[in-house]
Amino acid sequence: GQQVMQIPQYQHVQEGEDFTTYCNSSTTLSNIQWYKQRPGGHPVFLIQLVKSGEVKKQKRLTFQFGEAKKNSSLHITATQTTDVGTYFCAGFKAAGNKLTFGGGTRVLVKP
Amino acid sequence: DAGVTQSPTHLIKTRGQQVTLRCSPKSGHDTVSWYQQALGQGPQFIFQYYEEEERQRGNFPDRFSGHQFPNYSSELNVNALLLGDSALYLCASSLRLTSGRPHEQYFGPGTRLTVT
């Protein structure tokens, strides 16, 4: 079945630094969504990417969908303590009509 | 406008028992999906309901069943509980699929189920 994997599993970042987390699917995706889950909270929708090679920005967050629509990345610049949490990608394959979540990247920020 | 609500917040059950979890979707949403999230892992899709029917199902046994009511609220039932069923159960609501494109999902706070 479809598998979505994220690396790294953990990301320790110094406040003010940049980092990137990656999402890879075993199959070609129709769309990909990104969610953020704060400690003790529930996933909150961040963005959806649809087109091959698409790049979207939200303030300090940059999301990219790969040309082959099998991978995606999230890049955060000038990390802040408010960025703490687990970031999940979720792939959608039209034939399956369901979202498959990756295992997440847990981000810890050192002040 | 209330978001997605779930009840109960926490639940402790014994192996072999049955449990029912409840979810009310965000106003205006007609599709409800259920997920199981084990500690330190991503949400795993259980099933999705709209128009009161199960539309998609993940790799979960028949012990997991659900229902959607005419007001779009939903229940998740788990029979013959196992220790491995201990997890956070998340309900997410959305608009139904449009032109093959999913809409963003709004998650509820979840129900923490502990099986002893």
Residues on chain B touching A33 (C-beta within 8 angstroms):
102, 104-105
Write down the pLDDT at residue B78. Answer: 98
pLDDT at B98 over 80: no
User: In Å, how far is B38's CA from the nearest CA of chain A?
Assistant: 10
Write down the pLDDT at residue B13. Answer: 98
Under the banding of pLDDT at 50, 70 and 90, the label for residue B95 is confident
> CB of B34 within 8 A of CB of B90?
yes
Residues on chain A touching B108 (C-beta within 8 angstroms):
42
DSSP B26: P
Under the banding of pLDDT at 50, 70 and 90, the label for residue A95 is low
Under the banding of pLDDT at 50, 70 and 90, the label for residue B48 is very high
Q: How many CB atoms neighbour CB B99 within 10 A?
A: 4
Any B CB within 8 A of A101 CB: yes
Q: What is the arithmetic mean of pLDDT over B36-58?
A: 94
Q: What is the arithmetic mean of pLDDT over B65-73?
A: 97
The 3-state DSSP class for residue A83 equals helix
Q: What is the arithmetic mean of pLDDT over A12-35?
A: 95
Write down the pLDDT at residue B102. Answer: 77
> CB of A85 within 8 A of CB of A21?
no
Write down the pLDDT at residue A29. Answer: 92
Residues on chain B touching A1 (C-beta within 8 angstroms):
59
Among A45-59, B4-18, B75-89, B93-107, the minimum mean pLDDT is found in B93-107
Under the banding of pLDDT at 50, 70 and 90, the label for residue A19 is very high
d(CA B45, CA B11): 20
Q: Tell me the sheet residues that pair with A76.
A: A19, A61
User: In Å, how far is B70's CA from the nearest CA of chain A?
Assistant: 22
Q: Residue B32: which of B55, B51, B45, B48 has the closest Cα?
A: B48
> CB of B46 within 8 A of CB of B36?
yes
d(CA B56, CA B49): 7
Write down the pLDDT at residue B100. Answer: 67
Under the banding of pLDDT at 50, 70 and 90, the label for residue B96 is confident
Q: In what order do the strands lie in the sheet with B19-24?
A: B5-7, B19-24, B74-78, B64-68
